Structure 1
Amino acid sequence: MRIASFLPAGTTICYELGLGDNVSCVTFECQFPPAAKDKPKVIRCIFNSDDLTSAEIENAVNTNLAASVPLYEIDESLLEDVDVVLIQDLCEVCAIGPPMVLAALDKLKVQPRVLYLTARSLDGLYNDIMTVATGCDIEGRGVAMVTSMKARVDRVERALVDCTPVKTVCVEWLDPIYNAGHWMPDLVHRAGGYDPLAAPESFSVAINWSHVAEVEWINYTMLCMLLLPFGG
């Protein structure tokens, strides 16, 4: 079985499920586990962001989107003989979206199985793991992985039951700053934090430092700031 992963989360899930050898190609952003870095790159960004600031990347993305110019390009030669394709359907900025991928797949003689990963919460992440496991006919491994993850989360929550929540600000982009969205607020809450600027199970949006300054932090302990630049 050959798997093409079009998002870093899909790549990591495959490796955690013991499917690393089955992953035939990944994205230019896939860096975990380290072995994924050596896989052929099925997609690349149309511009090199290595030497750009956050503001410059934001401007480049917005300029291309306004002109309807795709942010990514696909190496279609790597899709031949692929059996399973992992794609996301949440954000066409952080990772390539379905339209371009499906258009490339339509050119293949044999259509692979397409699995959509759509997590917006921690429970959604568990569902995505099962989507991959079931789609790759290893449902038992998926159940074991999810069960283990839930047990670890439960241990953390039990250990923090008597603790005062930590006031937390999660920043998912640096210039402009973006709040935390999708599953990140869920993770912060379960880890004992409280982020009033977050957008649970929704998209991150641009905010400014005045929003942080205006928040009332009464009855909460020290401030924790997490810098989490997004992308896949």
Structure 2
Amino acid sequence: MDGDTKVVSLEPRTLDGIFSCLTTLGEVLGVSERAAAETRLLRDRLAAVRDRVAGRPRPRVAAIEWLDPLWPAGHWVPEQIDAAGGIPLLAAAGEHIRPITWNAVVAARPDVLLLMPCGFPPERTEAELPLLTGLPGWDDIPAVHVLDGPAYFNRPGPRVVDGAEILADLFHG
């Protein structure tokens, strides 16, 4: 490319990776002090979520980011679940995931099923629910929540902390 164009490739897979990307962006944009301060606030908020749910019962949580085929939510979502006081199922922190079967979801025995399809607002996810509601074992899942995946879970940015706060409220009130 001609000119003074600078290309910065950012591909975080964990919450720490997201925070590091925010720091990198601050440096690139010449606002490193502000980025550091904002990142500290985000880390503090995440720590507050962990403190708020410490010692409470930890529900088993399956998070799904695509409905057909079923894809579990990987990357930072297991960390969001953990910070919110849940036990993440189906994917580990930082993991790039693969499609799974509905039987795998049922076999994991989730207490909570989170539906957060990438690119779908909650209304679209609710419209797609018939893909799952008739499957064997659907009625055995104690709690199902439709969430705004693009706003709080699917995209790496500051709102992932909002997502952890939302989950803490869902799991623990």
Give the total of aligned pairs: 120
How do 1:44-123 and structure 2 match up within 5 A? 106=1, 109-123=2-16
State the TM-score, normalizing by the size of structure 1: 0.49
Change in Cα spacing, 1:150 to 1:163, as seen in structure 2 (3 Å) is: same
Contact 1:180 1:199 in 2 (8 A): no
Instruction: Please state how far the C-alpha of 1:177 moved relative to its aligned partner.
Output: 0.7
**Matches of 1:169 and 1:215 in 2, distance apart?**
8
Partner of 2:97, secondary structure, is coil
The alignment status of 1:155 with 2:48, answered yes or no, reads yes
> 1:30 is matched with which residue?
none
> 1:230 is matched with which residue?
118
> 2:159 is matched with which residue?
none
2:83 to 185, 190, 197: 190
1:17-67 deviations in whole A, cap 9, x for unaligned? xxxxxxxxxxxxxxxxxxxxxxxxxxxxxxxxxxxxxxxxxxxxxxxxxxx
Contact 2:61 2:86 in 1 (8 A): yes
State the TM-score, normalizing by the size of structure 2: 0.65
**Matches of 1:110 and 1:182 in 2, distance apart?**
35
Higher helix share: 2
- Unmatched 5+ stretches in structure 1: 1-105, 218-222
Partner of 1:131, secondary structure, is helix
**Matches of 1:197 and 1:185 in 2, distance apart?**
9
Amino acid at match of 1:130: T
**Matches of 1:140 and 1:149 in 2, distance apart?**
14
**Matches of 1:196 and 1:170 in 2, distance apart?**
8
Aligned sequence identity (%) = 28
Contact 1:130 1:143 in 2 (8 A): yes
Amino acid at match of 2:12: A
Amino acid at match of 1:228: M
How do 1:155-174 and structure 2 match up within 5 A? 155-174=48-67
Instruction: Please state how far the C-alpha of 1:128 moved relative to its aligned partner.
Output: 0.6
1:58-96 deviations in whole A, cap 9, x for unaligned? xxxxxxxxxxxxxxxxxxxxxxxxxxxxxxxxxxxxxxx
Contact 1:172 1:204 in 2 (8 A): no
Instruction: Please state how far the C-alpha of 1:224 moved relative to its aligned partner.
Output: 1.9
Partner of 1:168, secondary structure, is strand
> 1:80 is matched with which residue?
none
What RMSD in Å do the two structures reach over aligned CA positions? 1.5
Runs of 4+ aligned residues of structure 1 deviating over 4 Å after TM superposition are: none
The alignment status of 1:209 with 2:102, answered yes or no, reads yes
Instruction: Please state how far the C-alpha of 1:216 moved relative to its aligned partner.
Output: 5.1
**Matches of 1:205 and 1:165 in 2, distance apart?**
25
